[in-house]
Structure 1
Amino acid sequence: MNFLRLTSGEVVRPSSCQFLFRFKTCLLVAGKRDKDQEREAQHWIETLLGEKFTAGFAYEDCLRDGILLCRLMNRLSPGIVPKINTSGGDYKMMDNISQFQKACIKYGVADVDLFQTTDLWDKKNVALVTTTIFAVGRACYRHPEFRGPYLGPRPSEENRREFTEEQLRAGEGLIGLQAGSNKGATQAGLNFGATRKILLGK
């Protein structure tokens, strides 16, 4: 009997229900991911850190232990992650991810832009991990000490305007002129409810 190896490294029989469920799940997850964005995020991280991702490993596998993510945050804001665990088992590696998330919030990334630890550790939502990296890239625009390269578009900024009561009252009379007419709105020309005559033979 032939066996298949999934992207997670797990080996399953093609005829099993487990395979069908995992295959459908892999298709759904793979459908959400944007490989171009992942390559762009990877290139940005590699450029800032001055080193390439480990050859032969997938994007999510290189990020999974949180070491590169913590080093990225320390590159953007030195000392923002006080201790990066390079050994010590799964718990320590998951702690790196948690430290990265805390550093993101300190750096100015919104809480809603952060992925959950299990999204990366269990590879449940790698697309959200990439979204978080782009959010970090956008946050760099708000730090004048950062010289680039930047990732993603510049975030919009609030442009609050204050109007006096006099200015607000003056604006009340402009609606008709802005609509192309200086006459008030009327219902002239509307025929709702009017009878309609159809004359045949003319």
Structure 2
Amino acid sequence: MAENRALKSGFAAEAHNKIKSKYDPQLAFQLLQWIKDLTNEDIDTDGDSKNFHATLCDGKILCKLINILQPGTIPEKKINDSKLAFKKMENINHFLEGAQKLGVPSEEIFQTVDLWEQQNLTAVCICLQSLARKAHKYGHKSLGPKEAEPNIRTFSEEQLKAGEGVIGLQYGTNKGATASGIVFGNTRHM
């Protein structure tokens, strides 16, 4: 995992420290509490980054979460109990695919290494937060603000034609005024 890597230095260290500074332990606590409530797993809900990583890094709880929101999204035979790193990372990848199926936009999906190697736990929180907002669509308690619902409007051909005859004020109007006769300032001397 990440402990076998060389320490970052220079710009890379600055960038990584900036990413780590955006991690919100309070949000992580809320997300872990939400996961605990849905999955009925006995997990530590401390929002500390080390606990957050340790709780979610094998991906099994995340896969269980997806299957609770939408049963059968990840087949049980695909979820790995193995101690091998690549099998755990595969679980995380199954979660990410399932999250996209449930409507999490691709901009809010994290990379597997963001969680596995603790590269960007903030991105993991963003993904889980997005998934938590969509939980009400699947009959479960959601977390965060309610998402907007589409308000589709349909207009008849008659209504659309009526709008073509109106000249909007954004096109401008001068109500018959002209610029003739305006003398402003002194004349130009050559």
Task: Name the TM-score class by shorter chain.
Answer: 0.7 to 0.9
For each residue in 1:15-47, what CA deviation from the matched residue of structure 2 results, as whole angstroms up to 9, or x when unmatched?
xx9556665244211233233322221121121
1:117 aligns with 2:112: yes
Query: Which piece of structure 1 moves more, 73-82 or 89-98?
Result: 73-82
For 1:153 and 1:18, locate their aligned partners in 2 and report how far apart those are by CA, in whole Å. 37
Q: Secondary structure at the match of 2:134?
A: helix
For 2:180 and 2:153, locate their aligned partners in 1 and report how far apart those are by CA, in whole Å. 42
Check conservation: 1:137, 1:152, Cα contact below 8 A.
yes
Q: Which residue of 2 aligns with 1:44?
A: 34
Check conservation: 2:23, 2:122, Cα contact below 8 A.
yes
Check conservation: 2:32, 2:45, Cα contact below 8 A.
no
Q: CA deviation at 1:197?
A: 4.1
Q: In the TM superposition, what are the counterparts of 1:12-31 in structure 2 within 5 Å?
A: 18=8, 23-31=13-21
Q: Which residue of 2 aligns with 1:62?
A: 55
With CA pairs under 8 Å and 6+ residues apart, which has the higher RCO, 1 or 2? Answer: 2
Letter in 2 for 1:153: P
Q: Among all aligned residue pairs of Structure 1 and Structure 2, give the percentage whose two residues are the same amino acid.
A: 32
* Number of residue-to-residue matches in the alignment: 178
For 2:185 and 2:106, locate their aligned partners in 1 and report how far apart those are by CA, in whole Å. 64
Moved over 4 A (4+): 8-12, 17-23, 54-57, 172-176, 187-194
For 1:60 and 1:155, locate their aligned partners in 2 and report how far apart those are by CA, in whole Å. 27
Q: RMSD of the TM alignment (CA)?
A: 3.3
Structure 1, unmatched stretches of 5+, are: 1-7
Check conservation: 2:20, 2:121, Cα contact below 8 A.
no
Equivalent residue for 1:53, pick from 44, 52, 55: 44
Check conservation: 2:43, 2:55, Cα contact below 8 A.
no
Letter in 2 for 1:46: K
For 1:11 and 1:104, locate their aligned partners in 2 and report how far apart those are by CA, in whole Å. 29
For 1:113 and 1:192, locate their aligned partners in 2 and report how far apart those are by CA, in whole Å. 58
Q: Which residue of 1 aligns with 2:146?
A: 154
Check conservation: 1:141, 1:150, Cα contact below 8 A.
yes
Check conservation: 1:138, 1:153, Cα contact below 8 A.
yes
- The two structures have a TM-score, normalised by structure 2, of 0.74
Q: Which residue of 2 aligns with 1:138?
A: 133
Q: CA deviation at 1:87?
A: 2.4
Q: CA deviation at 1:117?
A: 0.9
- The two structures have a TM-score, normalised by structure 1, of 0.70
Check conservation: 2:132, 2:142, Cα contact below 8 A.
yes
